[in-house]
Amino acid sequence: MDKRYHLLTGTDVLTYTWIIPPGDLIAVGELFVIVDKGTKTRYFARVTRMAHDEKTGGVLVFGLPIGCISQDGIFRKPRTIPSLYSPVRALDAGENALLLGFMGELEVGFMMSGNQRVVDLPIGIPASVLNQHLGIFATTGMGKSNLMKVFCASAINTRNAGILLTDPHGEYATGPPGDPNSRGLVHHPKAQDGLCVFTIRGQDIAGEYGMKPLQIAHEDLNIADLGLVFDLTPSQYEVVNLLLPFATDEIIDFFINEDVESLPSHLRTTAYIGNHQDIAQRVRSAPPDALRLVQRQIRTLLDLTALFVDSSSSSLPDILRALDENKVVLIDIPGMSDAAELFILSAISRAIIRDRQKRFIEKGSAAASGRVLISIEEAQRVLSQRSEKTGVFREIAMEGRKFGVGLGVITQQPKNIDQRVLAQMNTLFVMGLADRHDREIIASSAKHDLRVLDTEIQTLDMGDAVISTVGIPFPVSCHIHFFEDYLDALWESAS
């Protein structure tokens, strides 16, 4: 056998190369250690690509340096290089244990080294990074929903952060509908203490699983959220802006009970004799067509949300309290339209950020209130670069971390997310993206350099992810737990 096999044959601070025999199996993403016998420093490398070596007949391996440990035992970014012909080997149990020390408490899966799961190296992200925003990016069928269920199950288990999640499909609470054997977050062994579900389902199911009825009061809503749901014209935005100083319950009462056709205008001399003199006076200069459209849209929206929007009753105090107690709060609205989902998510998100801003002013610190992650499915609907439908979500993306509030942006189309929002995300889960432009967008936004991992990201299997977070000093490959298996493991450890 050629003496150059498994020895470092070339190096710089960005790439290590070595040669392995032609019969040895190796995969992109596999982890290795290069041991410098002179300095006793161990350098950790991740395989990024391979090629045939004509001189030896072996395989030339290219590795990305991810860190090093010198004799002082401190893990650092590699600013030095190992000596030429240093031996290259797989990680041992002690090194796996060392890497485990960097993992956070919110466990999501096992480390992947190439094609092998490292079952003694579970991967988790620290709860402390959740207010710094999180992105989950994957094409359809790569396992986004399973990841979110595992992530929420882990949060229920640890109780180190509050998570808000809306579910318009009814799959997170009790499992995918139609499958009698499916399980959801209500089947978690600690669900009674760490999960709070607000639902629009009937009392039979709600009572069985301890769910609370979802209620949003008129005063919880904001007239500006019409722009989230409908494509407003400039004249309609003018009406919305004119109405901003007024309480939403008054605005709704005005448009539900008044006939805008009979309102006095700057062209009419008739007097208004209704119950909302201030509002009527405010909008009298607005275009009549725009007023009629706004009235129609408000009535349509109330019809769409009739199952949970109420003139006075509100679940928001209970939701805020549950998040303060570091619970997972699930808004279970199966069958609801996109418009209804966004409307309710905006109302709850606004309540969260306003509550945290108030307490920040009073206490001077977000840490006293804990951390909250607000997850948004199909986030390109409200965070695209050209969209005016940003509502409170862009405010949270830009300023939320100061108040302990982060966004969980879940999308198949990262290229359609505003680049300024992506730049704020300090934790990324990349679960397979076929579109090269999508991968480039993510690589340019990540806190770690993911460009050299492009081949690995292209070849990710369903349920696999590359994770980049400020809580871990290098990007990690992970096989996400299958939710039902993870539930079984939690029940086993609880017994």
Residue whose entry in the numeric block shows the structure tokens 């990710």: 460
Which phi and psi angles does 95 have, rounded to 5°? -75, -35
Are 454 and 437 in contact, with CB atoms under 8 Å apart? no
Q: How many angstroms separate the Cα of 475 from the Cα of each of 82, 321, 431?
A: 21, 35, 13
* Rounded CA Rg of the chain: 27
pTM, full prediction: 0.89
CA 252 to chain centre: 33
User: How confident is the model at residue 491, as a pLDDT?
Assistant: 94
Q: Which helix (H) or strand (E) holds 440?
A: helix 436-445
Query: How many other β-carbons are positioned within 10 Å of the β-carbon of residue 453?
Result: 24
Mean pLDDT by 10 residues, the chain (495 residues): 80 90 90 93 93 90 92 86 93 90 94 92 93 90 91 95 92 84 92 95 88 92 85 88 90 82 51 71 84 89 86 90 96 87 90 92 68 90 68 87 92 86 89 84 80 85 91 90 95 87
CB 476 within 8 A of CB 123: yes
Q: Is the dihedral of CA 308, 310, 315, 316 positive or negative?
A: positive
- Check: CB of residue 9 under 8 Å from CB of residue 17: yes
Q: Which of 374, 384, 326, 330 is nearest to 353 (CA)?
A: 374
| Per-residue pLDDT, 267 | 42
DSSP 343-386: HHHHHHHHHHHHHHHHHHHHHS-SGGG--EEEEETTTHHHHBSS
d(CA 253, CA 209): 36
Please count the other Cβ atoms lying within 10 Å of the Cβ belonging to residue 23. 7
Whole-number pLDDT of residue 268:
46
CATH homologous superfamily of 119-214+315-494 equals: P-loop containing nucleotide triphosphate hydrolases (3.40.50.300)
- Cα–Cα distance between 424 and 354 in angstroms, integer? 20
Backbone φ, ψ for residue 388 (5° rounding): -90, 0
What is the domain partition of the chain in residue ranges? 8-90, 119-214+315-494, 220-304
**Residue 488 DSSP SS3:** helix
Residue keyed to tokens 């579970």: 122
Q: Phi first, then psi: what are they for 136, rounded to 5°?
A: -120, 120
CB under 8 Å to 495, separation ≥6 — which residues? none
